[in-house]
Structure 1
Amino acid sequence: MKPRILTTLLICSVTLATTVTPAIAAVTPAANETVQAPFANASSSSQEKQAAEENNIAATAFMDLGIKDGKFADIKSSNTWTPTGKPSITTDKGMTGDVFNFDGHSAYYTTLTDDQQNKLRNGLTMEAYFKYDRGSDTSSEHEIFSSQEGGGFGLGVQNGKIIFYAHDGHGYKQPSHALTTGKWIHAVGVIDKNKNAKLYLDGKLVDTVEMPGNLKFANRTKDLVLGGDAHPGNHVQSQMTGKVKSARLYTQTLTDNQVAQLSETAHKDQIVTAPVDQKVGTQFVGPKQIASGAIYGLNVHAKSLKLGDKENLSFDVVYDASKFEYEILIVP
């Protein structure tokens, strides 16, 4: 809110006389205990029916990339996938099972046939369950699951956002949303032929861009890349830094409900831990100069968070006037 300035100017400094130590519920590993993400609150028969529907959606994938017996696997297509650099298979403390790890210089690629590209012309859906490393570059373009070069489609990151790129012959349509690094994200890009390009994050539609033209494929390359983007001749460019649990490509346009079901299924592989209370130092911070009659907000600054995710915490602030000190100076 912009301040409403009146004629009398006051100079005021406000600090807390004592340190407030609210209890913060931070996600942190509980000793010798892990709790799997709960199923939706429904009857057993409903859960079984929903699980069957979810499995059927994933079963319609054109390509289904994951890890089987400790190795890269495409359980749906017969394509050969070639590693570049040193992609590795590792684990993640927040995820069950193995995951792919990409160091910004590695990826896997395959080459699509003409027949495979033709199957994607009437609409497609691509899915990736990934975690981008904190502190890694997200300003430049880096791709997660992609086939682009002057055309094509792909899921990637740039300018601090996750973007679904879809070229319709007139340019890239780019539905996007802010990227949170260090967090497992289920991302889905959908091309509804001659209508729009959509981006879903964690089962929710976050952006839609009109796409009236037909999908234009990448120029001079037919490569599809996991962990990066296609490049004529060299096969791979714009590699990501982070982890991928799974990725799928579909030859049809999935619905909102189907995408939501895929996200719910994917997140069941996450390990959730019990929250614990801990104390942090806090301070109210506000403007040093104010105007009479104006309304200002005070920010709560917290420090010394020892455990857990700084973006997954909560605390209560209780106002106590006796703990404030202030000084008012009237300026002629």
Structure 2
Amino acid sequence: MFEQHPYGKLISEYIQNEKYPVQPADLYNPIKYILSLSGKRIRPMLVLMGARLFGKEDLKEVVPAGIAIEYFHNFSLIHDDIMDRAPLRRGQATVHQKWNDNVAILSGDALLVKAYQELGKSPADRIPSLLQVFNKIALEVCEGQQLDMDFEKIDHVSEDEYLNMIRLKTSVLLGGALQMGAILAYADEKQQQLIYDFGVNLGIAFQLQDDYLDVYGDPSAFGKQVGGDILCNKKTYLRIKTEQLIDGEARAEFDDLLSSDTIEDGEKVSRMKNLYAKFQVDRYAEDIKLRYTDLAYNKLEQISVSEPQKAELRKLADTLMHRTR
């Protein structure tokens, strides 16, 4: 799908041609490993698409900023997987599982440094603006991750709190990637803001789809442990909505599933899915996903370029909202 897109191939070839020192092996091998897994390369592709949208012809000048986004994204995944104790990433063992926590932490740190090295290869007059956006979204991603961890310690999270968390943890990176492309194409600040807002709203819809796939996706296609959010009592939109609607005996069942540590994994996932079905929370999730998708398209429509120039982003958005992985 995305891997066969010309931009995806351009990004993948750049990464494959990157040379790393042989030693220390436990610093560089995990970096090569995480980057070799079959990720969709959506975020770096968005940098290129943002630049093309505003008429940038020479994408060679844009690729390093896209690589910086990809390196930052994978750095965050390595560290997130440690925090979540996740066993799988893209269908393969996570870095901390394949090596150990200490190796994963340090190799993730090195990947973040490499992101800044790549950003420094951008045209000199664009670097200050790129850094301003990159640093802002990088810090917001950290804020979102901390909020996500904070949610584990509190009993109740509202819909608005959850949507703000996923905006920070997931969506600003998509919006920022597009904005960085616009910066490299010398788009004005109004156009930069519109493309950023398009990406952020699309990103929220993307994460809501991810929540849905975690419960209802095909394990062989999804690439992660299906039902993983249920097993670790993660406060996703589906769970938050269920908690709002639930009552009576179903409430006792819900509370039991959250508190018991003796229920087998398969049974817990099955019983929680039954509660989701009873209160039709999948429909609520679909409705709110479509709401944010519509907001994204509205921002795209306001951008002052021709409709044919927008076709690539429309196609990408449609694909993301109907994906199975």
TM-score range, shorter chain: under 0.3
Q: Which of 1 and 2 has higher RCO (CA within 8 Å, sep 6+)?
A: 1
Q: TM-score, normalised by structure 1?
A: 0.25
> TM-score, normalised on structure 2?
0.26
Greater strand fraction, Structure 1 or Structure 2:
1
From the CA coordinates, give the structure whose radius of gyration is larger.
Answer: 1
Which protein is richer in helix relative to its size?
Answer: 2
